[in-house]
Structure 1
Amino acid sequence: MSETAEQPFDLSNQFLIAMPSMGESGFAGTVIYVCEHTARGALGLVINRPTDLTLGSLFERIDLNLEIAPIKDSPVFFGGPVQTDRGFVLHAPTGDYNSSIQVGGLTLTTSRDVLQAVAAGDGPERMLVTLGYAGWEAGQLESEMGENAWLTVSADARIIFDVPPAERYPAALRLLGIDPIMLASETGHA
């Protein structure tokens, strides 16, 4: 059976926007950029949860010298609860790095060489660095979609790179024409 027959839709290069009911899972208020979605499962990065860790501090931890002032104080993001000790760099498609996949108009790189390029001043100009990722086993995301846990919309790189983290959730909702105040965590009773 082909992968297409097993999976009727591909959510790669989409935003998953958590519905208020996702509060129990820890994903409430999150926007996830889906990097890969196949019949085997899905991988995405939370794009709106900065941590207290800065890029400068991260680079010190991995023995790289980052002296580029504009990005040194940029936050590292919580990418999701899976492999939180591993870094993921979502960036504009530049460079030729060891472990990268192309997603829409972006690149996801997991190899150290992208960070070495950044430290040397040759890396991508636009990037989001996360620790960890959000992952789903085969059929799990589709099941959550069937339970109306997520809204989806085509991703817009401007939201990832140009919109402040606290404004990314409402900005993603606006792509669907939804005002965040319209989403209620519970249904009312008459």
Structure 2
Amino acid sequence: MEEQNFLVNKFLFFQEKSQDDYFYNALIYIFEHNENGALGLIINKSLPIEEEKIFSSIGLQNISSNKSILNGGPVEVTKLFVLHDDASQKESISNVNGLCLTSSVDLLKDIGNGTNTCKYKLALGYCGWDAGQLDYEVSKNSWHIIDFNPLEIFNSEPEELISIISKTNGFDIDKIQHTDIITKH
């Protein structure tokens, strides 16, 4: 079977407008999408945890960072991910746009020690879909697919990304309404 990866390097915006839904106004960057499923990170929602606590938990006490941690998604919510731009990292999921993802503590230590000066964001948890699940959700118009330069993630606060993407793409993605498209033959 040919590998399907049509949503890799794309952003997904959840179109359902129920504030009770976990993915309400979620903007997700897709790192992997193939016949086995999909993996992505929510990149526009923060947790009330600062990086300083993460660095101190791995023994780096002298790091002063008040940057918040991204709420990456509802799967493995205690697993730490490093979203970064250092394509030379061997343990990273990488893509053509230069955005990489790893769960390696070594990179985090290198960042904390100043031996790696890559741009980065930290996230707890991720979004995962089983085989065919994301394809089905896209076919039901649950997600709006967006092209955008992923490296802009590093230049913006998470909560500003929807506004920035809207301006760049020329439409307000926050105003997108969910509709079931019915095709008549």
TM-score range, shorter chain: 0.7 to 0.9
1:122: how far off? 1.8
- Residues 65 and 119, structure 1, Cα contact 8 Å, conserved in 2: no
One-letter amino acid matched to 2:42: V
1:62: how far off? 2.7
Between the aligned partners of 1:13 and 1:161, the Cα distance in structure 2 is 15
Indicate the SS of the match to 2:76. strand
For these two proteins, the number of residue pairs brought into alignment is: 179
**What is the CA deviation profile of residues 29-86 of structure 1, one whole-angstrom value per residue up to 9, with x for unaligned ones?**
111111111110000000011111111011112323352x4xx111111100001111
The residue aligned with 2:127 is 134
The two structures have a TM-score, normalised by structure 1, of 0.83
Between the aligned partners of 1:101 and 1:180, the Cα distance in structure 2 is 27
Structure 1 unaligned regions, length at least 5: none
Residue 31 of structure 2 is aligned to residue 3 of structure 1: no
**What is the CA deviation profile of residues 115-134 of structure 1, one whole-angstrom value per residue up to 9, with x for unaligned ones?**
11011102243111100000
1:170: how far off? 2.6
The residue aligned with 1:47 is 43
One-letter amino acid matched to 1:150: W
1:163: how far off? 2.0
Q: Give the helix-richer structure, 1 or 2.
A: 1
Change (3 A) 1:181 1:14: closer
Q: Map 1:36-185 to 2 at 5 A.
A: 36-67=32-63, 69=64, 72-97=65-90, 99-104=91-96, 105-180=98-173, 182-184=175-177
Between the aligned partners of 2:15 and 2:44, the Cα distance in structure 1 is 15
Change (3 A) 1:152 1:94: same
One-letter amino acid matched to 2:50: T
The two structures have a TM-score, normalised by structure 2, of 0.86
RMSD: 2.3
Between the aligned partners of 1:22 and 1:139, the Cα distance in structure 2 is 24
- Residues 47 and 79, structure 1, Cα contact 8 Å, conserved in 2: yes
Between the aligned partners of 1:78 and 1:183, the Cα distance in structure 2 is 23
- Residues 31 and 40, structure 2, Cα contact 8 Å, conserved in 1: yes
**What is the CA deviation profile of residues 81-123 of structure 1, one whole-angstrom value per residue up to 9, with x for unaligned ones?**
00111111111125434x2121221111111101110111022
Change (3 A) 1:12 1:127: same
